[in-house]
Amino acid sequence: MAELANLIAQHINLEHGLITIAYVDCSPDLRQAKIGVSVLPEKFTGTALKELNQHSRAFSQAIIKKTRLRQVPKLHWTADFTEAKAAEIERILREDQEEIDKAKEQS
């Protein structure tokens, strides 16, 4: 995963954006890999996925060279919104707690 992250950093340039690998799930036969990426700001997600798909073959070739593996799984990129969802849940919980605290102060 670290090698893939390095390749992304070297070859994908999102101006004022950041791509983070959230997870990698490989099929049992190691022929397919689903890679979840988090993109900030989220408005660049489509562009990032397009760039990642365009570079998949080059990434696979680079990984083969650097790791001496005979075969690298086919890379399938997908957006991971877990962090954004977690931030939204935290915001809602914080607002609820503020309302509870306010109600306690008034009573």
Domains of the chain: 2-81 (3.30.300.20)
What's the pLDDT band for 80 if we cut at 50, 70, 90?
very high
- pLDDT band of residue 65 (cuts 50, 70, 90) is confident
Rounded to two decimals, the pTM is 0.76
8-48 confidence digits (pLDDT tens): 999 898 888 999 999 999 999 989 999 999 999 999 999 99
The values of phi and psi at residue 84, to 5°, are: -65, -40
| Whether residue 78 has pLDDT greater than 90 | yes
Side-chain-side CA neighbours of residue 2 (13 Å) = 2
To which H or E segment does residue 37 belong?
strand 32-40
- Cα Rg of the chain, angstroms: 19
Instruction: State the virtual CA torsion across 60, 62, 64, 68 in degrees, nearest 10.
Output: -160
Query: At 84, which helix (H) or strand (E)?
Result: helix 82-106
Alpha carbon of residue 59 to chain centroid: 16
**Nearby residues of 76 by Cβ (< 8 Å), 6 or more positions away:** 32, 33, 34, 35
Helix axes 2-11, 45-67, angle to 10 degrees: 120
